[in-house]
Amino acid sequence: MGKFDELKKEVYEANMQLPELGLVLFTFGNASAVDREQGVFAIKPSGVPYNILKPEDIVVLDFENNVIEGSMRPSSDTKTHAVLYKHWEQIGGIVHTHSTYATAWAQSQMDIPIMGTTHADHLTEDVPCAPPMSDEMIRGDYEHQTGFQIMDIFAEKGISYEEVPMVLVGNHAPFTWGKDVKKAVYHSAVLEEVAKMAYLALQINPDAPRLKDSLIRKHYERKHGDGSYYGQE
């Protein structure tokens, strides 16, 4: 058994969940996972359709984007993943998709407002949308700069990546993360659903109010707070 086989299997399985959940079409997305003890992460190869993807196709790299194992070219978004892993040390997995509703909000360059309790079950903030990067950044190391584009909006808004595990990149699409890649996939599905719910709510009533603070806090705390009582654990 190879040194990175378990990591590659984990990443393969996460990537295969994306089309099953309706979050990707053709090759529109990628998932990765990190092994911090070995200082590497594994990611889907670029442009390989999910229906022919195999565990052995997964590419392993260090945080400087040097390929450690794998014969295929890694995802074109690899440098973005590397930046986030390098600077946000509590992340264990990252997912990037072009899921329809979340991407529509990103293309609109709008935060997703917290409209209902489904959103509040997972985070207490609007889902932030990072503004499009400058022409200079686009002409430079684009995918590398996308990582900083994401980190900059969190710094600007004063929010924590551990409390808000998702972002929209303006004119582009969503990224999500979590303690491991399974959680990152979960957050990607949640993001698509709350994006859809917010869109539909505002279609039904363009003046629909944001969820009030007491309900935001109640729903978040009952699931994540010190006295949480959601689930069986």
Per-residue pLDDT at 224: 83
List alpha helices for 88-177, DSSP H: 100-107, 117-120, 135-139, 142-157
Per-residue pLDDT at 120: 95
Distance between start and end Cα atoms, the chain: 34
| CA atoms of 111 and 88, how far apart (whole Å) | 22
Range of lowest pLDDT (56-60, 89-93, 144-148, 226-230) = 226-230
Average pLDDT of the residues of the chain = 96
Q: What is the mean pLDDT of residues 34-59?
A: 97
Predicted confidence (pLDDT) at residue 1 exceeds the cutoff of 80: no
Per-residue pLDDT at 25: 94
Q: Taking Cα atoms as reference points, which of 105, 123, 134, 136 lies closest to residue 201?
A: 105
Q: What is the mean pLDDT of residues 150-154?
A: 98
- Confidence (pTM): 0.96
Residues known to be catalytic: 121, 230
Per-residue pLDDT at 210: 95
Q: Is 192 exposed, middle or buried (0-12, 13-18, 19+ CB in 10 A)?
A: buried
Per-residue pLDDT at 178: 98
Q: What is the mean pLDDT of residues 69-90?
A: 97
Render pLDDT for 189-233 as a digit per residue (tens, 0 to 9). Answer: 999 999 999 999 999 999 999 999 999 999 988 888 887 788 776
Per-residue pLDDT at 223: 82
Render pLDDT for 7-42 as a digit per residue (tens, 0 to 9). Answer: 999 999 999 999 999 999 999 999 999 999 999 999
Q: Taking Cα atoms as reference points, which of 160, 141, 142 lies closest to residue 151?
A: 160
- CATH class of the domain at 5-224: alpha beta
Q: Do residues 98 and 28 make contact, with C-beta atoms less than 8 angstroms apart? A: yes
